[in-house]
Amino acid sequence: MEARAKQSGVRQSARKMRLVIDLIRGRAVAEADAILRFSKKRAAQQIHKVLKSAVANAQQAAQRQNTPFDADALRVTYAVVNEGQTLKRFTAAAMGRGTPILKRTSHVEIHVAGVEAPPRAAPAAPQPAKAEAKAEAKGESRPRAKAKAKAKKAPAKKKKTTKKASK
């Protein structure tokens, strides 16, 4: 289940808001909520509102489809801040001139989706010994493979050498 929320025309620059949105991208909703609630940045308040709205939209979609809803299973899958319209104003400057003031705005968009539990894998079958596995791959019979494995494990006998007396 995926839900989204979008807020347009937030009166803060996109550059400042991206610093906060990068903190929550890809995280669980509960974790993202905690990060935004305790952040000192002003942008965190606006992003928190959008996140709550996306969770509420997911809950409403679940009710409409008559499916169970678990807010703890949601994850922030897509979070982006785009630039909005720039409001252009002017202020007085020296010698009768005007200097521009750019009041930047931004658009916040957040998508949340439920995390599906991965399918459980069947327990792995016990693996045969390495020598036996190699022998089976070569097509040798088991008794012969066991004999080869034992031969590899047994240490080789050392030859006794005698030193001849040198003159």
Q: Is the pLDDT of residue 142 over 90?
A: no
How many CB atoms lie under 10 A from the CB of residue 125?
Answer: 6
pTM, to two decimals: 0.67
Mean pLDDT of 144-156: 62
Identify the band that residue 83 occupies on the pLDDT scale cut at 50, 70 and 90: very high
Is residue 110 packed enough to be buried (19+ CB in 10 Å), middle (13-18) or exposed (0-12)?
Answer: buried
Q: CA 100 to CA 93: how far, in whole Å?
A: 10
Q: Is the pLDDT of residue 100 over 90?
A: yes
Most confident option among 35-44, 141-150, 153-162: 35-44
pLDDT at residue 144, as a whole number: 62
Task: Note the pLDDT tens digit of each residue in 16-68.
Answer: 999 999 999 999 999 999 999 999 999 999 999 999 999 999 999 999 999 99
DSSP 147: H
Of 76, 67, 101, 73, which Cα lies nearest the Cα of 3?
76
